[in-house]
Every structure is written in C-alpha cells, then in structure tokens.
Structure 1
Amino acid sequence: MPVISAVKDVDTLTMTFVAEFEATVEKVWQVWADPRKLERWWGPPTWPATFERFEFEPGGQVRYYMTGPDGTKARGWWTLTSVEAPHRLEFDDGFADENNEPVDPKDSTRGVVTLEDLGGRTRMTTVSTFTSAEQLERMAEMGMQEGMRQAQDQIDALLA
C-alpha cells in the first residue's frame, strides 16, 4: 500500500498525502505527465477519470470528468501554475460544469505535488490547500481523504 500517511489539518487548511513507490522519480513523474496514465489512477477505483484536455505546461488547462458507478459524471478542472519536471507540480483545482468550465474559480483548491528520490525509490507528497475551514470540511465530507488514498493506491500497478 503506497500511501503511508493522510493528514487533514484544519489549522493550516490542508490535506497532505504521502506515498512511497518502488520506482524512480522519473517513472513516478509520468503518472502525472501522461494523461492516459493519469486516467488509470486519478479518482477512486469506482470513479475512473477521463481527461479531455491536457496542457501539461505552466498556464496549461486540464479538463476531466470522473464517472461514478451509476454513470454520474463529476467534472473538474486544473490550471497548472508550475511544472518542474520531474520533481514538482503545482495547480489550481476545482469543479467544472457540463461545458468543462470552472463552476466557481474562487472555490478552488491549490495542489502541490513533490517527488523526492529515496535512492531508486520515490516519495510523493501531495498537499491540497483550501481557502477556508468550511471548504476543507465540505471536501472531507465529500470523501476526498479516502478517495485520494484509494486513488493513489492504484499507482503501484502502473509502475509495475
């Protein structure tokens, strides 16, 4: 199980996930940089993702949806703010409407992913920062903490 910790911190308005993989930083970076690989793990197993737009560069736009067991589509967007291959990725993240446009850009979260070389293994730290305690609690109630854990636990299969 790659996720070694998942911490919700109301004081810092963050959720932090730390996972370790038996793969190089460069190989783990590809699960973010390649949309077809990202589709195989972004979202819990029962909510697979489909990436329709994927501009993997600073300022780039990403649009995706996750399909639930009953066919419901939950749409999302990212705006990439920093891409420092293969060690760091930063993006704003939020909900999208049926046209794949942000529902409320002010209701976004900030995602920062760092990959650290552990001598041939990789530690991936993913931090989501929220705008308020209310937003953090709303996302926690929607199952974000368990969903992200389940999602990241699927990465090992991609690296095998």
Structure 2
Amino acid sequence: MNKAILMNFVVDKENKRINVAREFDAPLPMVWSAWTQSELLDQWWAPKPWQARTKSMDFRPGGSWLYEMVGPNGEEHWSKADYKTIEPLKSFSALDGFCDENGTLNTSLPRTLWQNTFTEKGDTTLVDIVITYDKLADLEQTVAMGFKEGFTAGLENLDLYLSAQFDLRKQNKTSNRARVTTYLNFPGKTEEAFSFYKTVFKGEFTGRGLQRFGDIAAPDGAPAMSEADKKLIIHIELTIMGGHVLMATDAPESMGFTLTYGNNMHINLEPQTREETDRLFNELSEGGTVSMPLQDMFWGAYYGSLQDKYGINWMLHYQPA
C-alpha cells in the first residue's frame, strides 16, 4: 500500500474548528468499515503505545461508542461519542467527550462535534474531518496537548492495518477452487503454535511458508516497527489432516490488537462464485451479527465477516483466480 496521497491539517481559529483531509489507498467500503466498526477502530484509533478498547458501540443515530484509551503504564481515559447523523458510506457526525467507564459525561470538560465525510476517488478514499469546538480556548488547549501528532499517528496506524491485514491474501490465493480453511490469531505466538501443530499433525507449511512482518514493505510514513515485531508472523498456512488448511496471523498488543479467547478464530470460506458467497453469507448471518458486510476489497476480493446466532465466527472470501 502506498503512503497517504493527501494529508492536510488546518486549525481554523476564526470558526473554532480543526479541518483534516486524509486520503487512503483503499476503497470506500473498506475505509468506512474501519471508521464505523468497533473491532476495527480498536486496531488503529489510539496512537502507539496507547491502545483503544471498546466497551460498547451502537452505530446508529441516537447510539453511542463508549471506549477507553489505555496507556503503556495502565493509564485509562474514557470517552463517549454520541452519534447524531449517519448516511451510510457517505458521512456521519458525533458529539465526543470525556466520561467515566459507565459513560457518565465529565461536564467540566468540553465536548467536540465531529463531522466525517467520505468520498470515493477511484481506488482511493478521501476522508474530510471537521472538529468543531464551543470555545476557542478549548481548541487551543487541544492543539497544545499534541492532538495533531496523536491523531496523525492514529491515521498512520490505519494505513498499516489496511496493508498488513489484507495485502497478502491475493498472493496466497492462486486458484478459484472452493475451499474451507480455519483462520487463527495469536498475540505473538503464531510460529510457536504452528510448529506445535506441524508436529502433531505431521503436516507441511504450504503457500509461501512463514511470512514475517519484516518481510513486507510497510507503508511510507508508518510508525517504525520494533525488531521483535518484525520477526512475528504476518501469514502462515499449514495443511493438516484431510487436506484441511490452518492459516494464522500474529496480532500482538504492541501493534494495537486486542485479542480475547473466542474472537481469535474464524472459519474461512472461499466459495467458487460470487453468488454462492452471497447465499452463504446471508444465510449464516440470519439471527447473527455482521461485523463486516460483503464488499469489494482493494486487493480484488469480495469479502465479509460475521458471527452467527450460535456465536461462531465466519469469514467469506471470494476472489477470481
């Protein structure tokens, strides 16, 4: 993935607002999902070494997003965004403010109105962000506290997320034959786990073998990766019994990921046709929760994810060979 084509940050004191224009080298549906789904926001919203952790999210007018920013020494700062208007794949606005873990607002601190507008520009997406303050002093205090640097770092996390999570899929799908795989995430122990599974099942690493984060070029301007993180696994495939394939990615906290047992395993379906992908997705999601709607992704696939009504996580991935 290329670096952001556009990044403008303007402080408009006359109108008491901050204007940010940020372009991403990804299609509109993918960028929209990253801004509107809690499990994706948690991956990039906080500038490292801080982490964002969602407690609850109800993305609809009148709903809210309650989340905490957790520091490297365990510091916790809670915020709540109350959604005002939503035009799917176009724009949304929210009133943001500091609160406690129960969502009770701190009335001694100011709230800010965010208006985010998404525009498709061919293969890229422009996000225009307008943050409005009630008082000029509040805006000036925010800028003095390093908002520009922190928010810019978060947006760079999103670049890295888009690249690292999906860029390798196209390389590893070499035919259009339908298959079912199991996709796993580990907080830094993928190589250890898969060496164990390789011994147990007497299987073989397939695809491109062990691919590490350090083996791929990070987006220009992305935060520097530690030597330890460079050695982690970005993608691995192991064929076990009956031709079944396990796949996995390391998702450590140092990269902003939050894993819990239960959300770290998906059954990955790769149907032969787009129509079959639609059918399976629609039927599996009935009564469940869609985490990412089926959509055309920038790496050329038709992809979505969901949790069915029994709590099982599924990914559907159709990509013509």
**TM-score normalized with structure 2 length:** 0.48
CA RMSD of aligned residues (A): 1.5
In the alignment, does 2:24 pair up with 1:21?
yes
Return the letter of the residue paired with 1:31. A
Structure 1: 5+ residue runs without aligned partners? none
Return the letter of the residue paired with 1:86. L
In the alignment, does 2:68 pair up with 1:70?
no
In structure 2, how many angstroms separate the alpha carbons of the residues matched to 1:128 and 1:152?
Answer: 15
Return the letter of the residue paired with 1:45. K
In the alignment, does 2:32 pair up with 1:33?
no
In the alignment, does 2:97 pair up with 1:94?
yes
In structure 2, how many angstroms separate the alpha carbons of the residues matched to 1:130 and 1:10?
Answer: 10
Deviates more, 1:127-136 or 1:137-146: 137-146
| 1:82–1:106 Cα change, 3 Å | farther
CA contact (8 A) 1:15 1:145 kept: no
Give the ranges of 4+ consecutive aligned residues of structure 1 lying more than 3 Å apart after TM superposition: none
Deviation, structure 1 residue 74: 1.0
Number of aligned residues: 160
Alignment-derived partner of residue 61 in structure 1: 64
Question: Which structure 2 residues correspond to residues 1-160 of structure 1 after superposition, within 5 A?
Answer: 1-2=3-4, 4-104=7-107, 107-160=110-163
CA contact (8 A) 1:94 1:105 kept: no
Deviation, structure 1 residue 97: 2.0
Deviation, structure 1 residue 99: 3.0
- Percent identity of the aligned residues? 28
In structure 2, how many angstroms separate the alpha carbons of the residues matched to 1:151 and 1:49?
Answer: 10
Deviation, structure 1 residue 87: 1.2
Structure 2: 5+ residue runs without aligned partners? 164-321
CA contact (8 A) 1:79 1:91 kept: yes
Deviation, structure 1 residue 100: 2.8
Return the letter of the residue paired with 1:19. R
Deviation, structure 1 residue 118: 0.7
In structure 2, how many angstroms separate the alpha carbons of the residues matched to 1:7 and 1:43?
Answer: 21
CA deviation vs aligned residue, 1:15-68 (integer Å, no higher than 9, x gap): 121111111111100001210110111121222100111000001021100011
In structure 2, how many angstroms separate the alpha carbons of the residues matched to 1:91 and 1:104?
Answer: 17
Greater Rg by CA: 2
If asked which structure has higher relative contact order (CA below 8 Å, sep 6+), I would say 1
In structure 2, how many angstroms separate the alpha carbons of the residues matched to 1:64 and 1:98?
Answer: 8
**TM-score normalized with structure 1 length:** 0.93
CA contact (8 A) 2:98 2:109 kept: no
